[in-house]
């Protein structure tokens, strides 16, 4: 069991398939202040690969990932100066 990470914003992307979880995440991250943390919950099995690629391309930091009862949890720290994609 991991320690709960404090987060500033939350996105429920359960039941959504690619590319919707990423698109909704992008909208929220664009509104957030740098260094704030977003928790995204998703059920799409491909979401782990999608979020890793998205964070790598944008400079947002995927600080933790876990899978609990078929729900993928992504803790993403907003970059100071995210790359636009």
Active site amino acids: 18
- Structure-block tokens of residue 41: 């919950």
Q: How far is CA 37 from the centre of its chain?
A: 9
The SS3 of residue 18 is coil
d(CA 78, CA 76): 6
């Amino acid at each position: 069991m991991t320690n709960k990470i404090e987060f500033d914003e939350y996105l429920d992307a359960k039941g959504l398939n690619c590319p919707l979880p990423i698109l909704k995440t992008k909208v929220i991250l664009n509104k957030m202040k740098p260094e704030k943390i977003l928790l995204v919950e998703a059920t799409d099995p491909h979401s782990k690969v999608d979020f890793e690629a998205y964070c790598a391309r944008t400079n947002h930091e995927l600080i933790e990932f876990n899978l609990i009862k078929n729900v993928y949890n992504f803790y993403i720290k907003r970059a100071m100066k995210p790359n636009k994609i």
